[in-house]
Structure 1
Amino acid sequence: MKVLLTGATGYIGSAVTDHLGAAGHQVVALVRGAEPQPGRGWYAQLVGDTADPASLAGAVTPDIEAVIHLAPPSGDAATDLAVIEALTAPLRGTGRPFVYTSGVWVLGATGEDQEVGEERPTDPIDIVGYRPRIERRVLAEAAEGVRAVVVRPGIVYGRGGGIPAILVDRARLQGVPEYYGEAGVRWPTVHVDDLAELFVAAVYFAEAGTVWHGVGESAVPVRELARAAGQVAGVTTAPHAVPAADAAAVFGPLFADALALDQSVSGAAARTALGWQPTRPGAVAELTSGSYAG
């Protein structure tokens, strides 16, 4: 299968490239520049920019059998909607998959509810305020003969990257492990390689008009992640809670609120319906003895 992949140079995109290739697929990477990028594992690269929807005209050629849209949002809803139009219009009436990447932050704080599923109404925090609108636009393509699917990853870790790497860097810089918001904050997490396998499974098996939570662990205490990040950084003091208002001075208010968001989210539906089986170490174990260590 020939798969067009946006965001192919990114953290998640690199893992998805690896797993698509391992499954025998050919990755056509949509990139901003024409300079060759050897070693990426791509079948081909195509110049285009998701900040410029007009540049995507002709990107989805008849030989493209699936599209995975991993590129981050532009920050402008009209631009992102135009990108969805450009990428899905050539797929209409074909039944071919279009997989869009959202995130669990569209659910907002889950409160006392445990392991909420895909049926929960969205209540997005400000950093992803218009994301549910994009999700709805994607899912509407199911009525047009596109196998349109939304994947909502949790906090992604592994390969030494993602938000947990920020916790390690902050522990080194501050000399104390940090977490943000209240003491009981929890993050739904997923290893980047497990997540990549979910994208492959979604291309194969997900039905049109469906949403899937990419979550390996439903609610990891961020205090424990901070403690593990401190160990990696060689800092043995107890984790320190940083109020979201103070974190805003470092990360900006939108991202600070996201770091302080308490959630418990289930990834069980993808396990049951798509046969997805996350097998990598949990987030705390990965921090202390995996790709972040040493």
Structure 2
Amino acid sequence: MRFFVTGASGWIGSALVPELLGAGHQVTGLARSDSSAAALTAAGADVVRGSVDDLDVLARAAAEADGVVHLAFKHDIAFSGDFQGAAEADRRAVDALAEPLAGTDRPFVLASGLAGLKPGQVANERDMPGIDGSAMSVRAATSLAVLALAEHGVRSSVVRLSPTCHGEGDNGFMAFLVAIARDKGVSGYIGDGTNRWPAVHRLDAARLFRLAAEKAPAGSVLHGAAEEGVAIRDVAEVIGRHLDVPVTSVAPEAAPGHFTWLSGFLGTDIPASSTLTRDLLNWQPAQPGLLEDLDKGHYFHTS
């Protein structure tokens, strides 16, 4: 099969492209820069130049493909304060990608997130996000729209990813926590630190996306969670040991000053199960867990 992948040179996409190619598929990746295009070509993929804002480009590429995996999201503007704008752009991109797939039974796999589904309880694949008009719910509504494509002849599925997709080269939440600990001289957690985050290695996540594209039934919700929940205090302790700094609790009222933009998220308790996903697709995560991966030391290398 020939798959069109957006975000193909990103953190998950750069693992998915070789995963698909290694399984005998062809890949066309969306690239908005010369460096991204060069990386995709070097990996063995074809290239379509453009961005998620180029809706005509997206529609043409989707029409020419046997399936679509949509990983791209405008994280740059989302993390700079305009999550709603990023989510609205994502919805426009999804609509453009989905239109030529209607009635074809071709796969369309969307990357979404696990955070906020069922705080304080273990979320499973049957749990659906609430739509309350908030910026976060704009993205949630997009995931529901993709699932609804199953009623229009699209083999659609949504992969809800853990908030931390870890691995060597990660510049996400774990790398940010390490940077804060190095800067502050302490490795912190909020409150008692018993709140849990699900976690998945990027290579296990890439394999899940491939399996979804190959065989997930229409309307499937899948959880990219290799670990149900890792306590944030345990994460802080590994970071503190590697940096040789104290591990300490940060009071909730002091968290914004200590953790900046991550503070509102770091204290959440958002465990999630992937039992149904594993049973449906025979997905068996094989890479190191989050704490083991942190202990390998690559998060602590400085250039």
TM-score w.r.t. structure 1 length? 0.88
Name the CA shift for 1:176/1:200 in 2 (closer, same or farther; >3 Å).
Answer: same
Other-structure match for 1:15: 15
Deviates further, 273-282 or 13-22: 13-22
Counterpart of 2:240 in structure 1: which amino acid?
G
Counterpart of 1:133 in structure 2: which amino acid?
A
Name the CA shift for 1:235/1:123 in 2 (closer, same or farther; >3 Å).
Answer: farther
Q: Which runs of 5 or more structure 1 residues have no equivalent in the other structure? A: none
Other-structure match for 1:269: 276
Please show how residues 13-162 of structure 1 align to structure 2 within 5 Å.
13-33=13-33, 36-38=37-39, 40-62=42-64, 64-73=65-74, 75-76=84-85, 77-109=87-119, 111=120, 113=121, 115-123=122-130, 128-154=136-162, 155-161=164-170, 162=172
Higher helix share: 2
Name the CA shift for 1:61/1:83 in 2 (closer, same or farther; >3 Å).
Answer: same
* Identity level (%): 36
CA distance, structure 1, for counterparts of residue 7 and residue 169 of structure 2: 18
Determine which of 191, 195, 213 is the counterpart of 1:203: 213
CA distance, structure 2, for counterparts of residue 242 and residue 123 of structure 1: 30
The question of whether the paired residues in 2 share the 8 Å contact of 1:105 and 1:124 is answered with no
Other-structure match for 2:2: 2
Determine which of 251, 263, 266 is the counterpart of 1:259: 266
TM-score w.r.t. structure 2 length? 0.86
CA distance, structure 2, for counterparts of residue 250 and residue 61 of structure 1: 47
The question of whether the paired residues in 1 share the 8 Å contact of 2:117 and 2:123 is answered with no
How much does 1:136 deviate? 1.2
Name the CA shift for 1:85/1:291 in 2 (closer, same or farther; >3 Å).
Answer: same
How much does 1:182 deviate? 4.7
How much does 1:42 deviate? 3.9
Name the CA shift for 1:291/1:95 in 2 (closer, same or farther; >3 Å).
Answer: farther
Q: Which runs of 5 or more structure 2 residues have no equivalent in the other structure? A: 79-83
Counterpart of 2:237 in structure 1: which amino acid?
R
The question of whether the paired residues in 1 share the 8 Å contact of 2:4 and 2:30 is answered with yes
How much does 1:146 deviate? 0.5
CA distance, structure 2, for counterparts of residue 269 and residue 290 of structure 1: 33
CA distance, structure 2, for counterparts of residue 244 and residue 67 of structure 1: 42
How much does 1:167 deviate? 1.8
Name the CA shift for 1:169/1:293 in 2 (closer, same or farther; >3 Å).
Answer: closer
The question of whether the paired residues in 2 share the 8 Å contact of 1:152 and 1:213 is answered with yes
How much does 1:71 deviate? 0.6
1:90-130 deviations in Å (ceiling 9; x for gaps): 11111110000001014151x2x3x3211123248966332
| Cα root mean square deviation, aligned | 2.3
Name the CA shift for 1:222/1:24 in 2 (closer, same or farther; >3 Å).
Answer: same
CA distance, structure 2, for counterparts of residue 243 and residue 21 of structure 1: 48
Name the CA shift for 1:52/1:183 in 2 (closer, same or farther; >3 Å).
Answer: same
Name the CA shift for 1:229/1:124 in 2 (closer, same or farther; >3 Å).
Answer: farther
Name the CA shift for 1:244/1:6 in 2 (closer, same or farther; >3 Å).
Answer: farther
What SS class does the counterpart of residue 98 from structure 1 fall into? strand
How much does 1:181 deviate? 5.2
How much does 1:56 deviate? 2.5
How much does 1:139 deviate? 1.0
How many aligned positions are there?
Answer: 287
Name the CA shift for 1:70/1:213 in 2 (closer, same or farther; >3 Å).
Answer: same
Name the CA shift for 1:127/1:159 in 2 (closer, same or farther; >3 Å).
Answer: farther
Other-structure match for 2:193: 183
Deviating 4+ runs (over 4 angstroms): 123-127, 249-253
